[in-house]
């Protein structure tokens, strides 16, 4: 099993693609063409937002614009524990994964920790609460909910008056929101951080950017 988004169909190629969380902590995009068993892989460069095409991926089969389209189409699509993809026309080993022995093959499997997150009822409840009709995670909904909670919760004002840092206030509001959404009052700060990191993997921007900016404007 792997951690990946749903399949999308590309217009630039006769192919499908999906975003996948790699075991090395990076986010990758896999493209599967209908006319060849050779899969294409690129890693998302979090600094530029652009795909870094893997060394074993032939550019004549998988041009840069195809990976850019795949990234755009999968932006905001939530990760879940899903089976490997295998096209009926493809004979590629393990469906869409790098060839055995390639440098990228070793980190294709999801880590036990990441699987534990995406298979949890808490993660599922949060994704459900903030997924729009298109099947995309709605960061607007999430950030608006956090901003509203921060403005309406007198405990937050008390934290600020007591000298709490913006990071402490942010973490408290996020944890309280996740507890309310999941009904789980036993969520640890580590659990919350891992869920936020998983949501951030598929975000076109920092997942809590608007909320963090609102806190800075309010308390600075």
β-pairing, 8-9 vs 27-33, is unpaired
Q: How far is CA 181 from CA 5, 69, 76, 128, 137, in A?
A: 22, 33, 20, 10, 15
Domain count, the chain: 2
Which single residue is written with the structure tokens 């949890």? 120
pLDDT at 94: 42
Tell me, what's the pLDDT at 49? 87
pLDDT average, residue stretch 211-220:
89
Domain ranges, residue 212: 120-219
Q: How confident is the model at residue 3 (pLDDT cuts 50, 70, 90)?
A: very high
Based on the fold, state whether residues 35 and 99 are members of the same structural domain.
Answer: yes
One domain, residues 182 and 213: yes
Chosen domain end from 85, 110, 135? 110
pLDDT computed for residue 46 by the predictor: 84
Domain membership of residue 115 (yes or no) is no
Choosing from 110, 143, 169, the residue where a domain stops is 110
Over residues 183-201, the mean pLDDT reads: 94
Does 93 have pLDDT greater than 70? no
Q: Does residue 197 sit within a domain?
A: yes
Per the domain annotation, does 80 fall within a domain? yes
Do 73 and 8 sit in the same domain of this protein? yes
pLDDT bucket at 47, cuts 50 / 70 / 90: confident
Residues 130 and 103 reside in one and the same domain: no
What is the pTM for the complete model shown?
0.77
For residues 99 and 137, state if they share a domain: no
Same domain? 15 vs 97: yes
- pLDDT tier at 167, thresholds 50, 70, 90: very high
Which of the listed residues 110, 140, 164 is the one where a domain comes to its end?
110
* 165 lies in the same domain as 203: yes
**Whether residues 8 and 76 fall in one domain:** yes
- Residue 13 covered by a domain: yes
The CA distance from 26 to 111, in Å, is 12
Of the pLDDT bands very low, low, confident and very high (cuts 50, 70, 90), residue 109 is: low
**Residues 160 and 91 grouped into a single domain:** no
Decide if pLDDT at 136 tops 60.
Answer: yes
Among the residue ranges 63-77, 96-110, 120-134, 172-186, the one predicted with the least confidence is: 96-110
- pLDDT tens figures, 29-39: 999 999 998 89
Of 108-122, 169-183, 205-219, the one with minimum mean pLDDT is 108-122
Q: Which of 41, 20, 50, 198 is nearest to 104 (CA)?
A: 41
User: What pLDDT, on the 0 to 100 scale, is given for residue 88?
Assistant: 57
Does residue 103 share a domain with residue 84? Answer: yes
Same domain, 21 and 86: yes
Confidence grade of residue 126 (pLDDT, cut at 50, 70, 90): very high
Which one has a higher pLDDT value, 62 or 83? 62
User: Helices 166-182 and 209-219, interaxial angle, to 10°?
Assistant: 130
pLDDT for residue 113 is more than 60: yes
pLDDT at 101 over 80: no
Q: 106 and 124: one domain?
A: no
């Amino acid at each position: 099993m792997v951690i990946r988004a749903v399949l999308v169909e590309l217009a630039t190629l006769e192919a499908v693609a999906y975003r996948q969380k790699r075991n090395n902590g990076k986010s990758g995009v896999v493209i599967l063409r209908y006319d060849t068993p050779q899969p294409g892989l690129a890693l998302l460069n979090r600094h530029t937002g652009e795909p870094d095409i893997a060394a074993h991926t032939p550019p004549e089969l998988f041009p840069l614009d195809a990976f850019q389209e795949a990234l755009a189409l999968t932006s905001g699509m939530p990760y879940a524990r899903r089976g490997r993809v295998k096209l009926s026309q493809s004979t590629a080993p393990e469906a869409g994964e790098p060839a055995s022995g390639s440098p990228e093959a070793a980190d294709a499997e999801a880590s036990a920790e990441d699987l534990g997150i995406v298979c949890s009822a808490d993660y599922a409840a949060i994704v459900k609460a903030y997924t729009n009709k298109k099947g995309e995670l709605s960061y607007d909904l999430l950030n608006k909910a956090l901003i509203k909670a921060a403005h309406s919760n007198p405990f937050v004002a008390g934290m600020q008056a007591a000298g709490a840092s913006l990071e402490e206030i942010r973490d408290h509001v996020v944890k309280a929101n996740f507890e309310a959404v999941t009904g789980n009052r036993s969520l640890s700060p580590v659990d919350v951080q891992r869920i936020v990191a998983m949501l951030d993997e598929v975000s076109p921007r920092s997942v809590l950017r608007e909320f963090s900016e609102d806190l800075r404007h309010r308390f600075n």
